[in-house]
Chains A and B, each alone.
Chain A
Amino acid sequence: MMLAAQSIAGFLEGLVGDTFSGWGIQHVLAAAIHAVLLVHAFALSPFLFIWLERKVSGRIQDRLGPTRVGGLFGWLQSLADGIKLVQKEDLCPPAADAMLFKSAPYFVCIASFAAFVVLPFSSGWVAVTADCGLFIILAVLSLEVFGIIMAGYSSGSKWSLFGGMREAAQMVSYEIPLAICALVPIVAAGSLNLGEIGGMQRGGIQNWFIFHDPFTFVAFFVYFVVATASCKRAPFDLAEAESELVGGFHTEYSGIRWSFFFMGEYASMFAVCGIAGILFLGGWNTGLGPIDELLYAARNNSVDSPIGSYLANVIGAFVFVLKGSAGVFVQIWLRWTLPRLRIDQVMTTCLKYLIPISCFLFLGATIWPLLLATATQRSSWTPEPLGARFAAEVQEAETTEAFERQALNDGEEIQ
C-alpha cells in the first residue's frame, strides 16, 4: 500500500538497524513522515489561498487588499486571521445538539484531507498508490457533504438548516456530472491510477488529455464548472448566500470550528483543481517536450544520481502545484466577477444542462476511437495504450493461470 514510502522506509531501515526490524518501525516512521508532509500541504494550501482570495478580490474591486501584516503584500494576513480565530470563544448555541455540532467541522476537514492522500504531487510522490485512485478521491470528496448536513441540522437554527439543505442538494447533484466528466479522460487513458495517468501525458503539450480528442477538450471546461460548484464556490455559493441566508450552514459557528469549514473548502478547491491538472493538463509534466524528456530521464536515473532524480521530482511537484494553484486562481477570479445564481437556477444548470452534456461527452469519448478506427482503416479499434495494455494483461493472467493450475496439479499429486 505504501509504495511511495518504500524509499524512505529503505533509508530508515539502514538507520534503525536490526533492533526494531521485526516491528516494522521503519514503515511506521515512513508513514508518519508522509503524514506530516501531507498535513502541511493540506494546511498550507488554505493559508496561501485565503491570502490570494483577499488580494485578488481587492484588486478586482480596485482596492489594495491586505497590506499591513508581514511586509509589502500582506502575505502574513492568513496567519493573523488564524491567530484571531484561535483566540475567539468556541460558542455552542443552547438549541444545538452539542456533540453533532462540535464534530461536524472535523468531518468536512477530514474528508477533504483524505483526498490529498491519493493525490500524486509528482511521479511517485503520492502517499498511497492505488489502482483506483480517482475512484477513491471521488468517494472521499463525497463524504464532505455529510459534515455540512450535520452542521446545518445540529445548529438548531432555521438559517443553518436551510443552508445545509441547499448545500446538500447542490453537492449531491453536482457529484454526478463531476464523476462522469472525470471519466472522459479515463476512457482515453484506460487507467484509474492517477500516477499512471500523469505519466502518460509526458512529452509535450499535444499529449495532454485535454487535447486528446474534442470530447476531452469540452469535458475539461464542464469539469471545471462542476468542480467549482461542488466546492460551493461562487457563482454557486447559494448555501452561504449572505444576503438571504445570513451565513448558511455555518451561521452558528465561530472561532476555530468556523475556520475548519474554510480550511476544508480551500483544500478541496485545490484537490479538485489538482485532479483537473492530472486528468486534463498533464499533471507534473511541463508541456514542453524536450524538458519533459530530460526530467523523465533524470527521474528514472535514481540509482546513479539520486539528487538529480529528487530535483526532477521537486520540479514536477512545483509544476503540479502551479497548475492546481492556477485553477484555484481562476475560481477566485470567477467568484469576484460573476453574480450569484438563484437556487433553482443552480439546480437547473446541473440537472438540465450539465448532466446531459457530460453524458453526451462520455458517450462521445467512447465512440470516438471507433470512428477514428473506421476513418483511418485501423484493425484495432481500441486506442494504442488501452488496447496494448488489455492484451498484455489478459495474456499475463492466462499464463499465471496456467502456472497456477500446474502448481495445483503438482500439489494434488503430492497429496
Chain B
Amino acid sequence: MNDSNLLGGQLLFAIFALATCLSAVAVVVSQTVVRMAFWLVISLGSTAALFFLADADFIGAAQLIIYVGGTLILLVFGVMLTASSPYLKIKSSPGETIIGGLLGLLFMFAVFSSLQGVEWPAPPTGASAVTAGSPEGNTLRPLGLALLGARPDLDLHDGDTLSTGYLLPFEIVSVHLLVVLIGAAYLARAKRKSAAPAEGLES
C-alpha cells in the first residue's frame, strides 16, 4: 500500500479486521454446524483480504484456495454426508462453555506473551524494500527466488556457501501428500472390495 493511501488502507483494514474477529466469535456462538461453516468462511475470507491489504497476494490467494476453497468445502461435505438430521444443533452445557472460555483466555494469554517476546525487525526501508520485487511489493517473486535458493534477505556470505533453496523439501512434502492421498483412496477402496465377493458367495 502506498503511504498516501492511509484513508483507504486503514479503513479497509478496520473493516476486514472487524469482520474477521466478529465472525470468529459468531463461529463459537452459533449452534448449527453449517452456520458455523458460513461464519468460518467469512472469517477466513477476511483474513485473506487482510493479506491482500498487506500486499501479500500469494499468501492471500493461498489462504483462499486452501482454507476456504478446500478445507471448508471438505468440512461442509462431511457435515452434509454425516448429519443425522437436516439442521443438526450443537448445544453446549454451561460447564463446557466455562472450560472452553477459560482455555480460550489461556491461549490468548500465551499468544500475547509470546508475541511480546519477539524482537520484531524494523519495517523494510530502502534496499530491502527494493528486494521485495516489483514496486507493488508482491511477495511472489521473493518466494519463488527463495525456493530456488536465491535469498536476498539473508546474509549468506558470512562463512556459509550459498543456500540450497527449499525446492527439495517442497517436492518431498508434495510427494508425501500424494502418497497419503493414494493411500487413503486405497484404504477406502479395499473395504468395498472385500465385502463384494463375500456377498457374491452367500448368494
Q: Smallest Cβ distance from A277 to chain B, in angstroms?
A: 21
- Residues in A whose Cβ lies below 8 Å from that of B6: 22-24
Q: Is B176 an interface residue (CB 8 A)?
A: no
Q: Annotate A168-208 by CB proximity to B: 1 below 8 A, 0 otherwise.
A: 10001001000000000000000010000000000000000
Tell whether, in the assembled complex, residue B152 and residue A140 are in contact, meaning their CB atoms are under 8 Å apart.
no
Query: What CA separation (Å) do A25 and B6 show in the bound complex?
Result: 9
Q: Smallest Cβ distance from B129 to chain A, in angstroms?
A: 10
Q: Is A136 an interface residue (CB 8 A)?
A: yes
Tell whether, in the assembled complex, residue B4 and residue A24 are in contact, meaning their CB atoms are under 8 Å apart.
yes
Task: Determine, out of A146-154, A224-232, A238-246, A283-291, the stretch whose residues face the partner at the interface.
Answer: A146-154
Q: Is B127 an interface residue (CB 8 A)?
A: yes
- Residues in A whose Cβ lies below 8 Å from that of B141: 131, 393
Query: What CA separation (Å) do A156 and B62 show in the bound complex?
Result: 33
Tell whether, in the assembled complex, residue A27 and residue B80 are in contact, meaning their CB atoms are under 8 Å apart.
no
Q: Smallest Cβ distance from B88 to chain A, in angstroms?
A: 11
Q: Annotate B1-42 by CB proximity to A: 1 below 8 A, 0 otherwise.
A: 110111111000000000000000000000010110010010
Q: Is A400 an interface residue (CB 8 A)?
A: yes
- Residues in B whose Cβ lies below 8 Å from that of A1: 1, 52, 55, 136
- Residues in B whose Cβ lies below 8 Å from that of A398: 150, 152
Interface size on B, residues (CB 8 A): 54
Of the residues B8, B52, B68, B140, contact of A28 by C-beta under 8 Å:
B8
Task: Determine, out of B70-78, B95-103, B111-119, the stretch whose residues face the partner at the interface.
Answer: B70-78
- Residues in B whose Cβ lies below 8 Å from that of A145: 69, 73
Q: Is A135 an interface residue (CB 8 A)?
A: yes
Query: What CA separation (Å) do A404 and B4 show in the bound complex?
Result: 26
Given A146-B41, A192-B140, are A400 and B130 neighbors across the interface (CB < 8 Å)? yes
Tell whether, in the assembled complex, residue B127 and residue A142 are in contact, meaning their CB atoms are under 8 Å apart.
no
Q: Is A405 an interface residue (CB 8 A)?
A: yes
Query: What CA separation (Å) do A21 and B6 show in the bound complex?
Result: 10
- Residues in B whose Cβ lies below 8 Å from that of A408: 155
Of the residues B65, B77, B150, contact of A397 by C-beta under 8 Å:
B150
- Residues in A whose Cβ lies below 8 Å from that of B86: 156
Q: Is A130 an interface residue (CB 8 A)?
A: yes
Of the residues B9, B77, B131, contact of A404 by C-beta under 8 Å:
B131
Q: Is A293 an interface residue (CB 8 A)?
A: no
Q: Smallest Cβ distance from A178 to chain B, in angstroms?
A: 12
Q: Annotate A1-29 by CB proximity to B: 1 below 8 A, 0 otherwise.
A: 11100000000000000000111110110
- Residues in A whose Cβ lies below 8 Å from that of B35: 97, 99-100
Q: Is B87 an interface residue (CB 8 A)?
A: yes
Query: What CA separation (Å) do A394 and B163 show in the bound complex?
Result: 13
Query: What CA separation (Å) do A74 and B135 show in the bound complex?
Result: 48
Q: Annotate A102-146 by CB proximity to B: 1 below 8 A, 0 otherwise.
A: 010001000000000000000000000111100110111011011
B126-159, CB < 8 A from A: 126-128, 130-131, 133-136, 138, 140-141, 145, 148, 150-153, 155-157
Of the residues A100, A132, A143, A168, contact of B57 by C-beta under 8 Å:
A132
Of the residues A21, A107, A397, A405, contact of B4 by C-beta under 8 Å:
A21
Q: Smallest Cβ distance from B157 to chain A, in angstroms?
A: 7
**26 A-B residue pairings within 8 Å (CB atoms):** A1-B1, A27-B2, A27-B7, A28-B5, A28-B7, A31-B8, A99-B35, A103-B38, A107-B41, A129-B136, A131-B140, A135-B61, A143-B69, A146-B68, A146-B69, A149-B73, A149-B76, A149-B80, A165-B80, A393-B141, A394-B145, A397-B150, A401-B150, A401-B156, A404-B127, A405-B157
* Given pairs A138-B65, A139-B65, 4 additional interface contacts (CB within 8 A): A1-B52, A146-B76, A400-B127, A405-B157
Instruction: Report which A residues bind B (CB closer than 8 A).
Output: 1-3, 21-25, 27-28, 31, 97, 99-100, 103, 107, 129-132, 135-136, 138-140, 142-143, 145-146, 149-150, 153-154, 156, 161, 165, 168, 172, 175, 192, 390, 393-394, 397-398, 400-401, 403-405, 407-408
